[in-house]
Amino acid sequence: MLLSKKPWINYVWQSGIATIAMFLVSLALTMEHAVIVSSIASTAFIVFTMPKSITATPRRVIGGHIVGLLCGGFASFISNLFYLSPLFMYSFSVGLAIFVMVVTDTEHPPAAGTALGVALSGLSIKILISVVSSVIILAIIHRILQPFLKDLI
């Protein structure tokens, strides 16, 4: 049977762990930063459905989101300084984040969303602490459960 060949136990418990992890992360982030919250949710998807993927490693999860924070903040600062078009700023933040992630080997696709979210809302200490603590929580849970996690995709 097709159903017997699927790791249903892993489907259920890894989705459950992702739910708990997102609840913990949601304590740090508010819905006023919806784009950033959705990029963290995308990170949770990668960490818990593709745990063996290179993009799920702590270096890429944490490093990628830090790059996203910095690139989004830089784009926002430059845009405000020179009165650039918001559309340019948003595009530039994503492109710059992709470039810096590739150069620094911190590629993590959801972190491009963090760059966009920060470009939209601006960089603040609250956002910085919230995002960094959120991705550290996800990375710690991933590291602890790594021996028990299976790739579901």
Query: 97 lies in a domain?
Result: yes
* pLDDT beyond 90 at 7: no
Summarised one tens digit per residue, pLDDT across range 24-79 is 888 877 777 889 999 999 999 999 999 999 999 999 999 999 999 999 999 999 98
Summarised one tens digit per residue, pLDDT across range 106-116 is 999 999 999 99
DSSP structure string for 43-88: HHHHHHHSTTSGGGSHHHHHHHHHHHHHHHHHHHHHHHHHT--HHH
Work out whether the CA dihedral 100, 95, 69, 45 comes out positive or negative: negative
Q: How confident is the model at residue 3 (pLDDT cuts 50, 70, 90)?
A: low
Query: 74 lies in a domain?
Result: yes
Query: 153 lies in a domain?
Result: no
DSSP 103: H
Query: 21 lies in a domain?
Result: yes
Structural domains counted in the chain: 1
Query: 103 lies in a domain?
Result: yes
Query: 2 lies in a domain?
Result: no
- Check residues 33 and 18 and name the one with the higher pLDDT: 18
Task: Write out the residue range of the structural domain in which residue 32 sits.
Answer: 8-148
* pLDDT beyond 90 at 131: yes
The most distant pair of C-alpha atoms in the chain lies apart, rounded to whole Å, by 62
Query: 1 lies in a domain?
Result: no
